[in-house]
Amino acid sequence: MELVEWELLERRAAAFEFQEQEARTAPLPGEPEPVNPVQEVGDCLKLVRDLLTPLLPYLPGIYTDEVVAELAGKVVPVMDKYGLSVEGVGDLFGPELSLAVTVLPLAYVTYKVHGQYKAALDAERTVDMPKPQAQAAPVAVAPVRAMVAVRDTGGQLSMQGA
């Protein structure tokens, strides 16, 4: 009988410890709710997907919101195992990430359009240029004056045979 009572006491103590831990981790009134790590990882993955979409337009078809949510659910336990966290990344780098998501795709599209513009200009210029004519083979020209052999005599030049 004593063993059963002891187990009951241990279970009650564990339940009280759990309730105390829950009370300690619960947000106070006016304090923001804790960040759901699965949602935070999912948001980061969606951000990367949306950022890479101008480069790789097929990504949204592969990484749908459902796939990203499932992937985030699988990634969070691994991150917890190795002590990694993305908690608060959105709050910490929110303006920078927003700027990057806006500017980087625009910069890439501008770069691609400029390349097409330059290619169109080059194509327009090459159309107006006449086609090069076939050039005749160069004709060997005989020297106007024959070269006279010269011998070095230590600083003074003298003509040979003269």
* pLDDT tens, position by position, 8-51: 888 888 887 877 777 667 666 777 777 788 888 898 899 888 88
Residue type at position 15: A
For residue 117, what pLDDT is reported? 94
10-33 in b/e form (b: 16+ CB < 10 A) is eeeeeeeeeeeeeeeeeeeeeeee
Predicted confidence band of residue 131 (pLDDT cuts 50, 70, 90): low
For residue 116, what pLDDT is reported? 93
Per residue in 65-80, pLDDT (tens digit) is 999 999 999 998 888 8
The residue ranges of every structural domain in the chain are: 35-127
Is the pLDDT score of 128 beyond 60?
no
